[in-house]
Amino acid sequence: MATKPKKKKRQEASTEEKIKAAARKVFMQKGYGASRTRDIAEAAGINLALLNYYFRSKEKLFHEIMLERVQKLFGTIAPILMDDSTSLEKKIQLMAPKYIDLLTENPDLPMFVFNEIRKQPDLLNKHTNLQQVLMRSSFLKQVKSKRIGVDPAHLLLNIMGMILFPFIAKPVFLSTGIISEKNFVSLMEQRRKLIPKWAKAILQTK
């Protein structure tokens, strides 16, 4: 008798994950505004009533997926920035490879997150503690001590830009023939080593 509740829980978890997987796909392709719960139900292979049973509204489902995507995008960097035992130089060395691996596997992730944050600026503050993580990070303290009088946000913005922008601009470069898919992969491999060097040069700029 005890196996039935466990089996039901597994089935419910499986159905919920199936819905979330479909929602990720639909939201990433269409964005929040153009997506319908019917689209998600069809992509998940279930009826609309069942989707509504697990997630009462499109907004609730979107916020869960959005939180997951934001945490995936920024959760990679947060532990590095917060680690008091790691030097600034080591942090910089770790950031590029971590992010390039993540974005190679999820190339549409930054554009999706940034588009939705642009439409709903309060999403980050409502659903994450990213601001507190950044403001309290040892990374900012280390940069402040190294570059007195220079806002440490400059270095973080430059590093993030060097990592994220190629993935955001990739469709443009591919469509114009400036680079090929194979060439892009090669460039990203090179940037693993180049970005820490460029960041170090920025730190030394007077």
Residue type, 192: R
Structural domains of the chain, ranges and CATH numbers in brackets? 1-56 (1.10.10.60), 66-204 (1.10.357)
Which residue from 94, 89, 123, 100 is spatially nearest to 184, judged by alpha carbons? 100
pLDDT at residue 128, rounded to an integer: 64
pLDDT tens for each residue of 165-199: 999 999 999 999 889 999 999 999 999 999 999 99
Across 128-155, average pLDDT: 80
In this prediction the pTM is 0.74
Contact 130, 82 (CB under 8 A): no
φ/ψ (deg, to 5) at 106: -130, 65
The residue written with tokens 């460029």 in the block is: 198
Torsion of CA 18, 50, 56, 11, to 10 degrees: -50
Across 91-112, average pLDDT: 89
pLDDT at residue 91, rounded to an integer: 92
Task: Give the whole-angstrom CA distance, residue 80 versus residue 172.
Answer: 31
pLDDT tens for each residue of 66-86: 888 877 887 788 888 889 999
Q: What is the CA radius of gyration of the chain?
A: 20
pLDDT at residue 180, rounded to an integer: 94
pLDDT tens for each residue of 102-140: 999 888 888 888 887 787 777 666 656 666 677 788 888
Mean pLDDT of the chain: 85
Q: Read off the tokens for 199.
A: 């960041």
